[in-house]
Structures are given as structure tokens and as C-alpha cells.
Amino acid sequence: NAGVMQNPRHLVRRRGQEARLRCSPMKGHSHVYWYRQLPEEGLKFMVYLQKENIIDESGMPKERFSAEFPKEGPSILRIQQVVRGDSAAYFCASSPRGFSTSSYEQYFGPGTRLTVT
Amino acid sequence: GENVEQHPSTLSVQEGDSAVIKCTYSDSASNYFPWYKQELGKRPQLIIDIRSNVGEKKDQRIAVTLNKTAKHFSLHITETQPEDSAVYFCASNTGKLIFGQGTTLQVKP
């Protein structure tokens, strides 16, 4: 059973460009979460998605950031017009169940390290 | 919103000693408390978790305790080894994981 997959692993963008980060959850997992980790800091929740639905985007900046998890294909975190402050590691995690059911485990992907120059 | 405080921020122990990391949370609705280990440049790895209907859970050298009344939970690592050196994060679940600030554990050989 393959783990959570993320690509690219490293992404360099110039200020003003767009960044697209992809996440494929573990097989059988339909819940996807995105977290951001700034250098030498903890993990901050950004968004929680199920297939074709955004469940909680309370941690997502209001502008320039968007996320989707289509019926087919990976979840995508999109950052438009990147700025230097967007440089961070972006991790996605997946789980087989959501909060409304019994407690669940989240398993993390290897992360995408975004560098904005 | 939910807040998780984690202490200490750094911890240095001698190989073979025990290490204890403590967390407090604010949302009484939290029902699941995982601990993650993150090595430099790598993904967070789930090492142990505890649910709100349990007070203690043990897995070999690691154990976690939960005091729901006080909203405290702790990670205990016994017989530490150099490969235990990493950053450890606690988290609480309120529909999403809210993480503590992390503890950098250094185990000296």
C-alpha cells in the first residue's frame, strides 16, 4: 500500500508566479489535509477536503491560495502570485475517516518544499 | 480557537535516560491526541496516539498519558537512544490537527 504521495518534492518559483502542489492520498483514504511548515516552526493547518468538497478552509489565507480535491486525480494546492513569505514546506496528510466518525489517524506525505526567489 | 502549548522547546538527555514532553490543549471537544516525530528534512511520522476514552497507552519504549480534566497529555520515552533525536510534535484533533510548537530532543551517546 503506497503511502501519501506529493509532487513535486522541490519547487522554485519567482515572485509573482503560480505554484501548484499535488497530493495523492493513501489508497482507501478520502480525507485530505494540507499543512504549512515555515522554517524551524511547527505545522499549521490550512485546509481539509473530501472528494469534490472543501470541509474546512479556516487556515487558508483569504487571497492567492486555493485548494481542490476533484473526483478523479490528486488534491491540488494552488498559490497564485507567490511572494517570498510563501517559502515553506507544504505537507499533505490523508486519513480514512473524518472527525464526525470515530477518531482517525493522519498520515503525512513527504512534503513539497517551495522556494520563492 | 483551539490552542496547543508544548514544553519544553528543547530537551537534551543522555542515552538511556528518559525523556518527557508535555502538552496542554484548550478545546474540551478534542478527542484524539497524536504524537509525531520529524527528522530533519523529512515528513512527520505518527509514533503513538491516544483517544479521549483512554488514560494511558504504551508501545515498547514510548508511552502517552492523557488527563482530560486538566487538558494535559504527555509523551514518555524510556531508555532513549541516539536515533530518538528528532523534533517531536503533539497535536489535538477538533476536526483538524492543531499542533504544538515542537520539542527538539537530543540524545547524547
Stretch B83-97: mean pLDDT, rounded?
A: 92
Residue B25, pLDDT > 60, answer: yes
Q: What pLDDT, on a 0 to 100 scale, did the predictor assign at position A56?
A: 93
Q: Across all residues in chain A, what is the average pLDDT? A: 92
Q: What pLDDT, on a 0 to 100 scale, did the predictor assign at position B79?
A: 97
Q: Is A34 on the interface with B (CB under 8 A)?
A: no
pLDDT tens sequence across A47-103: 999 988 999 999 999 999 999 999 999 999 999 999 999 999 999 999 887 655 555
- Using an 8 Å CB-CB cutoff, list chain A residues near B45: 108
Residue A40, pLDDT > 90, answer: no
Is there a cis peptide before residue A8, judged by omega within 30 degrees of 0?
Answer: yes
| Higher local confidence (pLDDT), A102 or A22 | A22
Residue B104, pLDDT > 90, answer: yes
Q: What pLDDT, on a 0 to 100 scale, did the predictor assign at position A1?
A: 55
Residue A112, pLDDT > 70, answer: yes
pLDDT tens sequence across B36-66: 999 999 999 999 999 887 789 999 999 999 9
Q: What pLDDT, on a 0 to 100 scale, did the predictor assign at position B23?
A: 98
Q: What pLDDT, on a 0 to 100 scale, did the predictor assign at position A101?
A: 52
Q: How confident is the model at residue B93 (pLDDT cuts 50, 70, 90)?
A: confident
Contact in structure between B64 and B47 (CB atoms under 8 Å): no
**CA nearest to B50 within chain A:** A103
Q: How far apart are CA A56 and CA A45, in angstroms?
A: 10
Q: What pLDDT, on a 0 to 100 scale, did the predictor assign at position A55?
A: 92
Residue A10, pLDDT > 60, answer: yes
Number of CB pairs, chain A paired with chain B, less than 8 A apart: 60
Q: How far apart are CA A67 and CA A46, in angstroms?
A: 9
**CA nearest to A33 within chain B:** B96
Pairwise CB contact (< 8 Å): A107 & B51: no
Q: How far apart are CA B54 and CA A102, in angstroms?
A: 14
**CA nearest to A4 within chain B:** B43
Cell numbers representing residue B92 in the block:
489535538
Distance from CA of A83 to the nearest CA of B (A): 22
Amino acid identity, residue A84? R
Torsion of Cα atoms, A86 then A55 then A70 then A64, to 10°: -30
The DSSP-derived string for A65-109 is EEEE--SSS-EEEEE-S--GGG-EEEEEEEESS-TTSS----EE-
- Using an 8 Å CB-CB cutoff, list chain B residues near A98: 95
Stretch A11-19: mean pLDDT, rounded?
A: 98
- Using an 8 Å CB-CB cutoff, list chain A residues near B94: 99
- Using an 8 Å CB-CB cutoff, list chain B residues near A91: 43-44
Cell numbers representing residue B49 in the block:
496516539
- Using an 8 Å CB-CB cutoff, list chain A residues near B10: none
User: Which residue shows C-alpha cell 547524547?
Assistant: B108
pLDDT tens sequence across B66-85: 999 999 999 999 999 999 99
Pairwise CB contact (< 8 Å): A106 & B34: yes
Q: What pLDDT, on a 0 to 100 scale, did the predictor assign at position B1?
A: 74
**CA nearest to B1 within chain A:** A58
Q: How confident is the model at residue B2 (pLDDT cuts 50, 70, 90)?
A: confident
